[in-house]
């Protein structure tokens, strides 16, 4: 009978020695096998053999996908955080200025023009009076005579000028009105001259508001219609001084003290107001201010008291910023070629009138002002930043030199981009940030 052998019956004759390269096989403990499974194949260990090549291939695919996703995320984040900054260094000059200049209230070719801002303020104070007296005085002032046609015209002393209401004033000296001339564009510029006038009679009714229009009645009366239509006059500032009636008598010392106190209060308040009321877009100078004072009629204020009133008028010339900068550049920079410029720091310029009486004159009545400027301003060439953004949008960075040729106000520029591998400007102009730096590129 054939003997059946069981694996458990096979034993080596004596234990085999392990070599140093062999490792003991560790078999995890088996759980108890139910009785019904103890016979047959249930007693045999199951060995699982894995395909290493297939497992490695799966890992490689997962790793590749992860890398692709990571790279995509990096590029996506870079697109969101991308930034291009263009640092622009404009042309600039720092001339040393120490010269006198002339400006005019009307526009003239190659000349500087100005406008006048005027602020009025009135204050009053009570003082003692010792009585009353009858007073008469004439209104006086200045007019600007205008001729709108070519050819000069002479007006003799005491030539009459008349308002629409029939009030007559006479010029105090003879004058010659210059004729109109054409400027470079062919526009006819009227000729003007300033003249002092006095009312034809006493009284407050001759105290006229500013910008009253006058004609010359003598031309009309002599049928000189062409001259009558081409010559007229206006007063830039109100006429004052006319009076006819009773005035209170006040002690001169007390009156002088009261006037001085009022004028100091008026001056301080007007200087504060001009800081907030001067318009934007103009170059102004504190030392260009002129303040004039006018005594208004006194008013009774109870027994033996009267109210004295003082009116102060502050005037300041205003220079349009771009025009003043261009004029100063033309007068002080030999290489200036009429391109748009601006003054960065007008505060470094010292303004003064060579004629000290100008600070107490009625600037509105002057046909020009002479002033001195001392300082070292920074005059910078202007450029159109918005147009520059549009010109660069979507172009390669290497095209920067070509684009800048269309912007002569720029001396040089420097590009900084994120991420670093970008080789072109953003396609959207708004995504290009422009920073202006005044000075030499470092």
Structure tokens at 312: 């102060």
Per-residue pLDDT, averaged over 419-431, amounts to 84
Least confident of 50-64, 127-141, 313-327, 419-433: 50-64
At 184, is the secondary structure helix, strand, or coil?
coil
The number of angstroms, rounded, from the C-alpha of 214 to the middle of its chain's C-alpha atoms is 39
Angstrom distance (rounded) from CA 263 to CA 309: 10
Asked whether residue 164 is domain-assigned, the answer is: yes
Residue pair 369/103 in contact (Cβ under 8 Å)? The answer is yes
The better pLDDT of the pair 154, 249 is held by: 154
Question: Which pLDDT does position 53 carry in this prediction?
Answer: 59
Q: pLDDT at residue 3 above 80?
A: no
Question: Which pLDDT does position 333 carry in this prediction?
Answer: 94
Angstrom distance (rounded) from CA 91 to CA 408: 8
Other Cβ atoms closer than 10 A to 82 = 13
pLDDT tens for residues 371-410?
999 999 999 999 999 999 999 999 999 999 999 999 999 9
Q: Which residue's entry shows tokens 């303020």?
A: 121
Question: How would you classify residue 158: left for phi > 0, otherwise alpha for psi between -120 and 50, otherwise beta?
Answer: left
Asked whether residue 281 is domain-assigned, the answer is: no
Per-residue pLDDT, averaged over 183-212, amounts to 90
Question: Which pLDDT does position 245 carry in this prediction?
Answer: 86
Q: pLDDT at residue 352 above 90?
A: yes
Q: What percent of the chain has a predicted confidence (pLDDT) above 90?
A: 59
Could you give the angle at the alpha carbon of 419 between the alpha carbons of 442 and 422, nearest 5°? 85
Angstrom distance (rounded) from CA 339 to CA 146: 33
Per-residue pLDDT, averaged over 359-366, amounts to 88
Q: pLDDT at residue 2 above 50?
A: no
- Please report which confidence band the pLDDT of residue 225 belongs to, taking 50, 70 and 90 as the band edges: very high
Question: How would you classify residue 78: left for phi > 0, otherwise alpha for psi between -120 and 50, otherwise beta?
Answer: alpha
Question: Which pLDDT does position 421 carry in this prediction?
Answer: 72
Range list of H helices, 194-309: 217-221, 225-230, 252-277
Asked whether residue 206 is domain-assigned, the answer is: yes
The better pLDDT of the pair 31, 92 is held by: 92
Tell me which DSSP letter residue 3 carries: P
Question: Which pLDDT does position 61 carry in this prediction?
Answer: 64
Residue partners of 185: CB distance under 8 A and separation at least 6: none
249-252 contacts at long range (C-beta below 8 A, 24 or more positions apart): 249/129, 249/130, 249/131, 249/132, 249/133, 250/127, 250/128, 250/129, 250/130, 250/298, 250/306, 250/308, 251/128, 251/130
Question: Which pLDDT does position 197 carry in this prediction?
Answer: 96
For residue 284, give the nearest of 294, 296, 276 by alpha carbon: 276
pLDDT tens for residues 266-305?
999 999 999 889 899 999 999 999 999 988 888 877 677 8
Angstrom distance (rounded) from CA 298 to CA 16: 139
Structure tokens at 112: 């500087």
How many structural domains is the chain composed of? 1
Asked whether residue 266 is domain-assigned, the answer is: no
- Please report which confidence band the pLDDT of residue 20 belongs to, taking 50, 70 and 90 as the band edges: very low
Asked whether residue 148 is domain-assigned, the answer is: yes
Asked whether residue 139 is domain-assigned, the answer is: yes
Asked whether residue 315 is domain-assigned, the answer is: no
Q: pTM for this structure?
A: 0.64
Asked whether residue 217 is domain-assigned, the answer is: yes
At 257, is the secondary structure helix, strand, or coil?
helix
Least confident of 48-52, 91-95, 429-433: 48-52
Q: Which range of residues forms the domain containing residue 162?
A: 135-245
Q: pLDDT at residue 6 above 70?
A: no
Structure tokens at 308: 């004295």
Question: Which pLDDT does position 7 carry in this prediction?
Answer: 45
Question: Which pLDDT does position 50 carry in this prediction?
Answer: 55
Angstrom distance (rounded) from CA 243 to CA 255: 19
Angstrom distance (rounded) from CA 41 to CA 33: 12
């Amino acid at each position: 009978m054939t003997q059946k052998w069981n694996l458990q019956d096979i034993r080596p004759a004596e234990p085999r020695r392990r070599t140093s390269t062999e490792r003991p096989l560790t078999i995890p403990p088996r759980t108890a096998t139910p009785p019904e499974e103890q016979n047959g194949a249930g007693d045999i260990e199951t060995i699982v053999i894995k395909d290493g090549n297939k497992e490695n291939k799966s890992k490689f695919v997962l790793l590749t996908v992860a890398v692709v996703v990571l790279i995509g995320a990096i590029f996506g984040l870079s697109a969101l955080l991308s930034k291009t900054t263009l640092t622009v260094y404009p042309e600039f000059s720092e001339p040393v200025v120490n010269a006198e200049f002339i400006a005019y209230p009307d526009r003239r070719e190659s000349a500087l023009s100005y406008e006048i801002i005027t602020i009025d303020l009135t204050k009053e104070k009570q003082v003692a009076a010792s009585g009353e007296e009858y007073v008469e005085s004439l209104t006086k002032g200045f007019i600007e005579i205008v001729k709108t046609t070519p050819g000069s015209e002479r007006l003799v002393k005491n030539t009459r000028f008349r308002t629409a209401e029939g009030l007559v004033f006479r010029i105090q000296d003879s004058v010659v009105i210059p004729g109109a001339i054409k400027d470079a564009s062919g526009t006819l510029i009227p000729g003007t001259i300033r003249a002092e006038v006095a009312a034809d009679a006493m009284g407050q009714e001759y105290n006229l508001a500013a910008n009253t229009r006058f004609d010359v009645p003598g031309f009309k009366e002599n049928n000189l219609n062409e001259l009558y239509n081409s010559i007229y006059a206006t007063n830039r500032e109100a006429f004052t001084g006319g009076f006819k009636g009773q005035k209170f008598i006040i002690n001169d010392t007390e009156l002088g003290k009261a006037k001085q106190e009022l004028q100091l209060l008026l001056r301080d308040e007007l200087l504060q107001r001009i800081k907030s009321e001067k318009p934007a877009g103009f170059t102004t100078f504190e030392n260009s201010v002129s303040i004039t004072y006018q005594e208004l009629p006194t008013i009774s204020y109870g027994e033996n008291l009267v109210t004295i009133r003082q009116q102060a008028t502050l005037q300041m010339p205003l220079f349009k910023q771009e025009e003043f900068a261009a004029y100063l550049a033309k007068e002080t920079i030999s290489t200036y070629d009429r391109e748009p410029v601006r003054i960065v720091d007008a505060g470094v310029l010292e303004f003064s009138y060579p004629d000290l009486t100008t600070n107490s004159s009625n600037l509105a009545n002057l046909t020009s002002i002479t002033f001195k400027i001392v300082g070292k301003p920074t005059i910078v060439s202007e450029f159109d930043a918005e147009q520059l953004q549009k010109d660069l949008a979507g172009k390669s960075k290497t095209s920067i030199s070509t684009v800048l040729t269309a912007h002569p106000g720029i001396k040089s520029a420097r590009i900084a981009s994120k991420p670093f591998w970008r080789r072109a400007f953003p396609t959207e102009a708004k995504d290009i940030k422009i920073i202006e730096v005044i000075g030499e590129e470092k």
